[in-house]
């Protein structure tokens, strides 16, 4: 997402994609009585895809097209609106709130091997597309004009990379809820250590993201003992200050 939007603070939670997936899943629970992982995944993918298209469309309006700043503003506004809709759907339906109040915050405690098995194909396809498109995304970081000179079809590349992002965001949101800031934290950690080459950033972000998520989950269990502090709360406390620091230092400039 950072490469496609050329924005160093882009991630699924900031651009509203996770929230769109969450809205569709909660709507399915409330209005269609869905209850299985195989049903969650299709709703989550649809919500993530529609939200991604909507945010990019809004961010592309006006002079200059889809600038990094406009995309972040569009994503933040969309995320806030969709979060309000999620709450509006859940409040009058106590059974939905009871079933998914922890899922909405983001938790890995409700995941099961059966659900993970259902989502593996989507995750594998998303990772493969991301890794294969990484060299071309390096060219896109130089700007659309330079990428075109290098023979890169920028529109097609953005579409393919966006499909990978939607597959990954939709599947993980359906499984564990809209856990925010993991992508932001992991990508910048790898970029800080190894530089801007996306051939390394994309696959290693998956590894570092898993490590950050596991550490955050352990911290939540220790701080919330004898209960549990949901991992989504922990990542928000860690990620929000990082986002502020990045915005101040990078001034929301493009990659």
What was the pLDDT predicted at 103? 61
Cβ atoms 9, 184 nearer than 8 A = yes
pLDDT band at 104 (very low <50, low <70, confident <90, very high): low
Kindly tell me if the per-residue pLDDT of 159 is higher than 80: yes
Highest mean pLDDT pick, 69-83, 125-139, 216-230: 125-139
| Tokens encoding 17 | 């994609």
Mapped onto helix, strand or coil, the DSSP state of residue 181 is: coil
Q: Which CATH number goes with the domain that contains 23?
A: 1.10.3470.10
- The widest CA-to-CA distance across the chain, in whole angstroms, is 59
What was the pLDDT predicted at 231? 81
- Both 69 and 127 in one domain: the answer is yes
Apex CA 114: angle with CA 111 and CA 117, to 5°?
Answer: 100
- For the chain, the first-to-last Cα distance in angstroms comes to 11
- CB within 8 Å of 43: residues ≥ 6 apart: 21, 24, 25, 27, 28, 34, 174
In the chain, the percentage of residues whose pLDDT exceeds 70 is: 88
Which of 133, 149, 178 is a domain's end point? 178
Cβ atoms 252, 69 nearer than 8 A = yes
Average pLDDT on 65-76 reads 79
- Both 25 and 146 in one domain: the answer is yes
pLDDT band at 250 (very low <50, low <70, confident <90, very high): low
The radius of gyration of the chain from alpha carbons, rounded to an integer in Å, stands at: 18
The answer to whether residue 244 is domain-embedded is yes
**How far is 16 from 233, CA to CA, in rounded Å?**
17
Range of the domain at 210: 179-254
The answer to whether residue 190 is domain-embedded is yes
- Both 134 and 196 in one domain: the answer is no
- Both 146 and 238 in one domain: the answer is no
- Both 109 and 47 in one domain: the answer is yes
pLDDT band at 60 (very low <50, low <70, confident <90, very high): confident
What was the pLDDT predicted at 126? 92
Q: Give the tens place of pLDDT for each residue, 168-203.
A: 888 887 777 778 788 888 888 888 888 889 999 988
Domain count of the chain? 2
Mean pLDDT of the chain: 82
What was the pLDDT predicted at 22? 84
The answer to whether residue 35 is domain-embedded is yes
Q: Give the tens place of pLDDT for each residue, 8-59.
A: 777 787 788 888 888 998 898 888 888 776 777 888 889 988 998 898 888 8
């Amino acid at each position: 997402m950072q490469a496609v939007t050329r924005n160093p603070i882009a991630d699924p939670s900031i651009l509203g994609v996770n929230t769109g997936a969450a809205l569709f899943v909660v709507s399915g629970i409330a209005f269609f009585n869905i209850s299985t992982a195989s049903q969650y995944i299709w709703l989550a993918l649809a919500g993530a895809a529609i939200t991604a298209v909507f945010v990019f469309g809004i961010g592309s309006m006006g002079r200059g097209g889809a600038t990094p700043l406009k995309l972040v503003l569009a994503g933040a506004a969309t995320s806030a609106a969709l979060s309000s809709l999620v709450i509006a759907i859940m409040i009058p339906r106590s059974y939905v709130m009871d079933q998914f109040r922890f899922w909405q915050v983001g938790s890995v405690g409700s995941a099961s091997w059966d659900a993970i098995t259902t989502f593996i194909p989507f995750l594998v396809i998303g990772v493969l597309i991301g890794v294969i498109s990484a060299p071309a995304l390096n060219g896109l970081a130089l700007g659309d004009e330079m990428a075109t000179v290098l023979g890169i079809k920028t529109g097609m590349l953005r579409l393919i990379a966006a499909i990978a992002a939607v597959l990954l965001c939709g599947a993980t949101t359906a499984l564990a809820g809209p856990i925010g800031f993991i992508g932001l934290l992991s990508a910048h950690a790898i970029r800080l250590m190894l530089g801007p080459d996306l051939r390394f950033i994309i696959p290693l972000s998956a590894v570092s993201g898993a490590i950050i998520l596991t550490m955050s989950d352990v911290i939540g269990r220790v701080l919330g003992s004898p209960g549990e502090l949901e991992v989504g709360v922990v990542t928000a406390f860690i990620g929000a200050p990082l986002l502020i620091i990045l915005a101040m230092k990078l001034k929301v400039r493009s990659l």
